[in-house]
Amino acid sequence: MIYTFDSGVFLGIANGEKGYELAVKEVEEAIKPGNTITLSTITLNEVLTPFLRVNEERKGLKIVETIKSLKPKVKFIDVNEEISLRAAEYRAKIKTIENRFLALADSIILATAVIAESDYLITTDPDFLLVDVVNIKGPGLTLKDWLKKYGSRKVKEKIKEAEAKGKI
């Protein structure tokens, strides 16, 4: 199996957020023999940035090094021309449940997963709920179920609204 992880999964593990014991189990499954993890290099940026913003560079770099230490099970994929063009397509066409277009980093991570032919893109980001170009799941659950159980009150409300409108 090929797994791609969204940055939020690693941030949640690092911050000990609720529901991330399932994320740890998902990473443990992904590093088992026969499986591969593909990550966009943009993931390193997304993981480090929040720590730099609050002057916790050491903590952020430690998390980045932990992710990098998963090599050779982790294959980092640079943002190349093919990924960039595919990401532009996704940014222009895929909307979130809040009717916004997919963000740049999310579209790059999605394009990376598709081009790497990942079996799953693991995320905790509700912006991926309407994505249908790759199998999206939350850690240990469907993404929708993970968000219903562990998401913020605002996210849970947005899911209810989207369900009522028949979006998901």
Q: In this predicted model, what pLDDT tens digit does every residue of 43-102 receive, in sequence order?
A: 999 999 999 999 999 999 999 999 999 888 899 999 999 999 999 999 999 999 999 999
101 secondary structure, DSSP code: B
Q: For 44-56, write each residue's pLDDT tens digit.
A: 999 999 999 999 9
Whether omega for the bond prior to residue 72 falls within 30 degrees of 0, making it cis, is: yes
Q: In what order do the strands lie in the sheet with 2-5?
A: 74-77, 36-40, 2-5, 120-122, 136-137
Kindly report the pTM of this predicted structure.
Answer: 0.94
| Mean per-residue pLDDT of the chain | 95
Tokens of 10: 């690693």
Helices 153-164 + 143-150 axis angle, to 10: 130
CATH of 2-164, one of 3.40.50.300, 3.10.580.10, 1.10.730.10, 3.40.50.1010: 3.40.50.1010
